[in-house]
A and B are shown apart, each in its own frame.
Chain A
C-alpha cells in the first residue's frame, strides 16, 4: 500500500447532503409515528365525547342512576349496564384471583418436573389466544346447559337471597361471570408467574434456612415480595374484564330491565354497545356513546391505578 491511499482512508468524510436528508427525514418520520399514539388516543376521546354531548346535555348525571332504556319515548339510563359491568367483572375477579395465583404458585414451585410445569404454563397462555367469540359460542352451546343444574340447585337452596331469587333459564349473569373467569385467568396467571419468578432466590434460601415449610415461605416471604406486580396484574385483568365484549354479549342475555338476581339475564356496557350500536339512530347513538365514555373512563382509571400500584407497592430488596 502506498502512503497516498492510506491518507485517503483516514481522511475525514463529509456527510453528503443526501445522507443528512435521509437521516433527518427518518428521525422526523419516527417522531410522527410515535405521536400517532397520542393522536389516536385524543381522537378516541374526542370522537366519543362529541358523540355523547347530546346525551350528556339531555340526561346529565341522572343517566348513571336511572335504569330506563326506552327507545320509543327516548328516555335512557345506563344504571343496569353500569351495575352489570361492575358486578360481573368484580365477581369474576373474586373467582379468578385465587385460581390464577394458585396456578402461578403451582408452576413456579418445584412440585412437578419442569417440563410439565412449562407445559401447564403454555396451555394457560394458549387459553388466552382463543378468540372471545369462540369462547362465547362454547358458552352458549356447551357450558351454559352443563352448569344449569348447578345454578338450579343454587336457586333451590339459596333462593331466599335476592341474588339467587330467579329460576335459571339459559343466558344470564352467572354464566357470563364464569366465562369472564376463563378469559382473565391467563392474564393473572401469566403476570403472577413472572412476578414469582423474579423474587430473588436468596429470600427463599433464607426462609428455608431458618426452618420454614414450603407454604410458610410462600405466604410469609415470596407472596409479599411479589405482591406489587401481582396486584398490578389483577388490576389489568379487572380492566380487561370490564371491557370484554363478545363472550359476555353472547351469554349474558342482554336484559334491559334491572334485576338483582345473578341467575337472571343482565347487561354490561360493552354488550349493550355490541347489541344496539348497529341499529341505533338519533339520540340513542348519543346515549350509547355516553355509555361508551363511561366505560372508557372506568377502564382508564383502573389501568392508571394498576400502573400506580406497581410503582408504589414495589418492595426494595
Chain B
C-alpha cells in the first residue's frame, strides 16, 4: 500500500521514516510472501494434475474401445479377444440397486429418529458416535464381515457367494452417509414449519412425511446420489461376497459380475484383450459416477438460488 506521494515531508511523518511506508518488494517478508504464493500455486497444480491424467487416460484408452458389442456381449475366456462387459454393467446396476434398497430406507429412518425424535438424548448421541465409527470402518472390513456372517454361514438357501451378499456389504458402507445426510438435512428445516403443522392438527407422522421430509428433500437427495455413486465404484467389499461370474446375472442368490471387480480381475491378467476390457469398463464406470456427481451438484446448486 503506497503512502500518498504528494506529501512534501521527506524526513518523518509522526515518527516514521517515510521510506518505510512504501511497499518494497525487496524486503524479506515480501520476498517470503511471493515465494509462498508460488509454492501454494504449485501445490494446487500438483493436486489437480492426477485428475487430468487419470481422466485423460480413461477417456482415450477406454473411449477408443467403445463399440456396441461392449454393452451386449459377455467377456471372453482368458487369452481370447473380443467380447464385452454387458453382464458386468448389468451386475453393477443390480448390486447397487440392492444396496440402495437396504441402506436408504434404514438410513433415512435412522436419520429421522436422530433429527426429529431425539436430538440430544444419550441414545441419539451414541448412535451418532457409532455412525461416525461405522463411516471410518475400511471397506474391506465390510467385505470380511459379510463373508463371515453370510457367505461362510450360507444363510440364503445354502448359497455361498451371491449378489445379495455383495449388496449387503455395499449397504453397510452406504448406511453412515445416508444417516448423516438425512440427519443434517432435517436439522436445517426451520422449526416453524413443524410447529405450524402441529398447529393445524397434523400428527407427528404426517408432519414428518408431508412437511419436514419434503422440505429437506434437496440435501437428502444430494447425499443419496453421492452415496450411490460411491457404492457403484466400490470393489473391496465385493471381491469375496458377490465374487465374479463370466455369465449373465442369474438372480440375486448367485455370484454376479460387477464392473469394479471386472476391472480388478482383468487389470492383473497378463492378457492384452482383458486389460483393454478393464480400460473400457473403467470408462463406463467413471462416466456413470461423474454423471451422478454432476447431477448431485446440479440438485444442490438449484436449491441455493
**Interface, chain A (partner B; CB < 8 A):** 13, 15, 19, 22-23, 26-27, 29-38, 40-41, 43-44, 47-48, 50-51, 98-100, 102-103, 105-107, 109, 111, 120, 122-127, 129-138, 140-143, 182, 185, 189, 213-216, 218, 236, 239-240, 242-246, 249-250, 270, 273-274, 277-278, 288-289, 292, 295-296, 299-300, 302-304, 307
| Bound-complex Cα distance A32 to B46 (A) | 46
Contacts of A136 on B, CB cut-off 8 Å?
263-264, 267
Distance (whole angstroms) from the CB of B116 to the closest CB of chain A: 8
Binary contact readout B13-42 vs A (1 if CB under 8 angstroms, 0 otherwise): 000000000000000011011001101111
Please name all residues of chain B whose beta carbon is closer than 8 Å to the beta carbon of A270 when the two chains form the complex.
138, 140, 236
Q: Are A292 and B144 in contact (CB under 8 A)?
A: yes
- Mask of B138-178 contacts with A, CB within 8 angstroms, 1/0: 11111111011100000000000000000000001001100
Known A26-B205, A30-B109; judge A239-B136 contact (CB<8 A). Answer: yes
Q: Do B33 and A215 touch across chains, with their CB atoms under 8 A apart?
A: yes
Q: Check A106–B40 contact: CB distance below 8 A.
A: yes
Most buried by B among A22, A30, A135: A30
Is there contact, CB below 8 Å, between B286 and A33? no
A51 with B44, Cβ < 8 A, contacts A26-B204, A236-B136 known: no
Q: Determine if A107 and B44 form an interchain contact, defined as CB atoms under 8 angstroms apart.
A: yes
Return A178 CB to nearest CB of chain B, in Å. Answer: 9
How many Å lie between the Cα of A169 and that of B233 in the bound state?
29
Could you say which residues of chain B place their CB within 8 Å of the CB of A122? 297
Q: Is B220 an interface residue (CB 8 A)?
A: no
A100 to B176, CA, bound (A): 25
A111 / chain B contacts, CB cutoff of 8 Å: 37, 40-41
Inter-chain contacts of A215 with B (CB < 8 A): 32-33, 36-37
A213 to B226, CA, bound (A): 40
Q: Pick the contact of B140 from A22, A105, A126, A273 — CB < 8 Å?
A: A273
Contact with A along B235-261 (1 / 0, CB 8 A): 110011001000000000000000010
**B58: CB under 8 A from chain A?**
yes
Q: How far is the CA of A277 from the CA of B137 in the complex (A)?
A: 18
Q: How many residues of B contact A (CB 8 A)?
A: 89
Q: Is the CB of A134 within 8 A of B58?
A: yes
**Which parts of B73-87 form the interface with A (CB within 8 Å)?**
none
Docked Cα-Cα span, A36 to B226, in Å, equals: 22
State whether the Cβ of B93 lies closer than 8 Å to any Cβ in chain A. Answer: no
Min CB–CB distance A249 → chain B (angstroms): 8
Is the Cβ of A243 less than 8 Å from the Cβ of B139? Answer: yes
Q: How far is the CA of A239 from the CA of B203 in the complex (A)?
A: 43
Check if B110 sits within 8 Å of A131, measured CB to CB.
no
Q: Assuming the A-B contacts A215-B36, A236-B136, A299-B137, are A126 and B290 also in contact, with contact meaning beta carbons closer than 8 angstroms in the complex?
A: yes
Q: Report yes or no: B203 in contact with A44, Cβ–Cβ below 8 A.
A: no
Which of these, B40, B140, B175, B235, contacts A36 with CB under 8 Å? Answer: B175
Interface residues of B in 280-296 (CB under 8 A from A): 282, 285-286, 289-290, 293
A30 to B29, CA, bound (A): 58
Bound-state Cα–Cα, A189 to B172, Å: 26
CB–CB A246/B264 < 8 A: yes
Residues of chain A within 8 A of B297, CB atoms compared: 122
Contact indicator A133/B263 (Cβ below 8 Å):
yes
* Residue of A whose beta carbon sits closest to that of B102: A36
Q: A48 CA to B275 CA in the complex, in Å?
A: 34
Given A106-B43, A216-B29, does the pair A124, B235 have CB atoms closer than 8 Å?
Answer: no
CA distance A288 to B1 in the complex (A): 64
Most B-side CB within 10 Å, residue of A44, A100, A240, A295: A44
Q: A40-B172, A50-B148, A138-B57 are in contact. List 17 more A-B contacts (CB 8 A).
A: A33-B109, A38-B127, A48-B148, A99-B47, A120-B48, A129-B289, A132-B235, A142-B53, A143-B53, A213-B32, A270-B236, A273-B144, A277-B239, A292-B141, A295-B141, A296-B137, A303-B136
A281 to chain B, nearest CB (A): 10
Q: Which residues of A contact B226 (CB under 8 A)?
A: 129
Q: Is the CB of A250 within 8 A of B39?
A: no
Is B126 located at the chain interface by the 8 A CB criterion? yes
Q: Give min CB distance, B167 to chain A, whole Å.
A: 14
Q: Quick check: B43 and A131 within 8 Å, CB to CB?
A: no
A-side contacts of B131, CB under 8 Å? 37
Q: A135-B54, A137-B278, A278-B243 are in contact. Are A300 and B133 (CB under 8 A)?
A: yes
Within 8 A of A (CB), among B107-141: 107, 109-110, 112-114, 116-117, 123-124, 126-127, 130-134, 136-141
Contact A43 B32, beta carbon cutoff 8 Å: no
Query: What separation, in Å, do the CA atoms of A300 and B132 have in the docked complex?
Result: 10
Question: Could you write out 27 A-B pairs with CB less than 8 Å apart?
Answer: A19-B203, A30-B113, A31-B113, A33-B105, A37-B134, A37-B175, A41-B130, A47-B145, A100-B47, A102-B40, A106-B41, A106-B44, A129-B229, A129-B289, A132-B233, A137-B278, A214-B36, A215-B37, A218-B36, A245-B138, A274-B239, A278-B240, A278-B243, A288-B144, A299-B138, A302-B136, A304-B133
